[in-house]
Structures are given as structure tokens and as C-alpha cells.
């Protein structure tokens, strides 16, 4: 249960005190999207002072991606492009954000609950035996861009795969579109898709996409008409195997006889996405 967000710029969100139990220091968060049924959240963390937390066990699948500044995980220093993924119930080492850091943080299939331990060895002794494949720690800058499969988008996209769950197909990856990348078709998927824009600009049927623009799109929502005005990079997540189903020559039957109101007071389609004012007016194209 998450709202269709398309598009909101991060700067249009308000700050909350960071909901990161057992941590010490100064951290704020912007809640990009949340699921109030199971606690799943997509957050932008801003360290307004040094912040840290001991080793322990998180109650949700947990991910961190460094946008600016420095994160230290278990003694390993990670700058922009640093990524950590910890499956739910798995022991995670201590983590620290230095003042000024900006970190994207995701919790999936669980809330912010966290059981602290003195060190990672103690946490490992308490971890669930079925806790999964272990912790991934990646510096994306050391990875090569690979061309995406040609089936799907009309012109090449490039990816860096950060994490993929072998059972569910859930993945997190970086995607790059070169200037001039385009696709005029409308696509929808059998899984959800969310992205945060790391840099660049794209014209899009839901509005302009630029650095800091966020989207959460539930399964089945059509989207498309892309034109990359510059090279553009995103971090993208989906909760299953992403298959592109395309619609062309699209049409929508919508309307009725207005008995006691003028046309400009007509009702809106109930599935309009959540958008922020800075994204400007939207024609409804793509719905």
C-alpha cells in the first residue's frame, strides 16, 4: 500500500527527525514514500551532525546509498556511489554518517525496528538462521556500465546492478540514459518501480525529471514518452522481475453528461498520482 508518486522533487518534502532507533547523533529524514501497512519506506537522510549506530539486526531488508558525503560501514569508508544492502534478520555491522552526508535509505518488508548488539559477532550469534545471502557492500564507482538488453527500450540504456534477490527478482540498480535517449511508447510492469534522479534532465509525460526528482509507481501504471535532454542517471528499485509491456495508439474512455456544473468543474480521474507543486501543471498524458 503505497501511493503513486509521480513526480515529487525532494526539496518539496519537509524534514522529520530521523527514525533510526538506537542511533546517536543528529540526523533528519525526508519521507519519499511509506507503506503504513508493513512499514516499508524510502527515505532521504541528511546528517546535520555526525551520526552513528552500533552493530545489530534490522527488522526490514535495509539499503543505504551515498549521494553526498561519507558513510562508514564496519570500518569501510564509502563516498558517493557507496551502497550497502542487509537482508532482514541478518547481522549488520556498525554504521556512521559524517556531518553533511546525504544518504538514500530503504526499508522493505518491515519497519524501522532495530535490535542493537555490542558488536557484529554478537549480532551474528542472534541472527535468524534463514537470514539469507549476507551483507553486500559495494563502491559503484568501481563497476563498469553494461548495456541493457535490447528487448524493450528503443535505444540503449546502461546499468550497474547493485543487488538482486535470487528468489524474488527484487533488484536495485543504477541506470544511465545518454543524451538523446528516447522512447515514445507507454509501458507498464508487473511489479512496482521507483527511482531517485542522481543527475541530468529528461522530458517526460508526467513532467520534467531533474536531479532530486523522485517517483514511486505501483504495478500496472502506464508511463512513457521519454526524451533525455542530457545524460541522466537514476537509482531504480523494483520488487520483482521488471517486464516492459507496451501500449501504443492508447485511448481512455472518460466523461459523462454534466447535469449541474460547467465543464471546467469536471471530476478528475481517481488514480491521479501524488505530485508536488514544483513539477508544474500536468496534462494527464499517459493515464
Q: Tell me the per-residue pLDDT of 32-60, one tens digit each, with 9 for 90 and over.
A: 999 988 999 999 999 999 999 999 999 99
**Residues of the chain with pLDDT > 70: what percent?**
87
**3-class DSSP assignment, residue 141:** helix
Alpha-carbon dihedral angle through residues 11, 14, 20, 26, given to the nearest 10 degrees: 80
Q: Do domains 13-141 and 143-252 have the same CATH topology?
A: yes
Q: How far is CA 234 from the centre of its chain?
A: 9
Q: What is the CATH code of the structural domain delimited by 13-141?
A: 2.60.120.10
Residue with cell 544492502: 85
Q: Tell me the per-residue pLDDT of 93-151, one tens digit each, with 9 for 90 and over.
A: 999 999 999 999 999 999 999 999 999 999 999 887 665 578 999 999 999 999 987 55
The burial class, CB within 10 Å (0-12 / 13-18 / 19+), for 134 is exposed
6-23 average pLDDT score: 95
**3-class DSSP assignment, residue 81:** coil
Query: What pLDDT does 286 receive?
Result: 58
Query: What pLDDT does 221 receive?
Result: 84
143-252 is classed CATH 2.60.120.10: yes
Instruction: Note whether 124 and 56 are within 8 A (CB).
Output: no
Grid coordinates belonging to 121:
559477532
Grid coordinates belonging to 128:
535468524
The continuous run of DSSP H or E covering 121 comes out as helix 120-126
DSSP states along 186-215:
EEE-SS-EEEEEEE-EEE-TT--EETTEEE
Query: What pLDDT does 68 receive?
Result: 98
CA distances from 114 to 39, 40, 108, 194 (A): 13, 14, 13, 25
263-287 average pLDDT score: 64
The domain spans of the chain are: 13-141, 143-252
Nearest to 102 by CA among 211, 27, 163, 194: 27
Q: Tell me the per-residue pLDDT of 140-182, one tens digit each, with 9 for 90 and over.
A: 999 999 998 755 666 789 999 999 998 888 999 999 999 999 9
Residue with cell 557507496: 82
Query: What pLDDT does 153 receive?
Result: 62
Query: What pLDDT does 266 receive?
Result: 63
192-218 average pLDDT score: 94
Query: What pLDDT does 73 receive?
Result: 98
Instruction: Note whether 180 and 200 are within 8 A (CB).
Output: no
Amino acid at each position: 500500500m503505497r501511493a503513486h508518486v509521480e513526480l515529487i522533487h525532494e526539496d518539496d518534502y519537509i524534514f522529520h527527525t530521523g527514525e533510526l532507533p538506537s542511533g546517536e547523533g543528529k540526523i533528519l529524514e525526508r519521507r519519499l514514500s511509506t507503506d503504513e501497512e508493513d512499514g516499508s519506506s524510502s527515505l532521504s537522510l541528511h546528517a546535520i551532525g555526525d551520526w552513528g549506530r552500533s552493530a545489530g539486526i534490522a527488522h526490514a531488508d535495509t539499503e543505504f546509498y551515498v549521494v553526498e558525503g561519507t558513510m562508514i560501514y564496519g570500518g569501510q569508508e564509502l563516498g558517493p556511489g557507496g551502497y550497502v544492502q542487509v537482508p532482514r534478520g541478518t547481522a549488520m555491522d556498525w554504521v556512521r554518517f559524517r556531518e553533511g552526508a546525504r544518504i538514500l535509505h530503504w526499508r522493505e518488508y518491515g519497519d524501522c525496528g532495530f535490535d542493537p548488539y555490542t558488536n557484529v559477532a554478537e549480532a551474528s550469534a542472534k541472527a535468524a538462521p534463514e537470514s539469507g545471502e549476507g551483507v553486500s557492500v559495494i563502491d559503484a564507482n568501481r563497476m563498469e556500465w553494461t548495456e541493457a538488453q535490447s528487448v524493450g527500450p528503443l535505444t540503449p540504456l546502461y546499468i550497474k546492478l547493485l543487488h538482486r534477490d535470487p528468489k524474488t527478482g527484487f533488484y536495485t540498480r543504477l541506470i544511465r540514459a545518454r543524451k538523446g535517449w528516447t522512447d515514445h511508447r507507454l509501458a507498464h510492469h508487473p511489479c512496482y518501480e521507483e527511482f531517485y534522479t542522481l543527475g541530468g534532465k529528461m522530458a517526460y509525460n508526467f513532467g520534467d525529471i531533474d536531479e532530486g526528482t523522485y517517483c514511486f509507481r505501483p504495478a500496472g501504471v502506464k508511463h512513457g514518452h521519454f526524451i533525455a535532454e542530457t545524460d541522466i542517471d537514476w537509482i531504480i528499485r523494483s520488487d520483482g522481475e521488471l517486464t516492459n509491456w507496451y501500449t501504443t495508439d492508447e485511448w481512455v474512455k472518460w466523461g459523462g453528461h454534466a447535469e449541474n456544473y460547467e465543464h471546467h468543474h469536471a471530476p478528475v480521474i481517481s488514480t491521479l498520482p501524488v505530485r508536488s507543486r514544483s513539477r508544474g501543471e500536468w496534462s494527464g498524458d499517459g493515464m
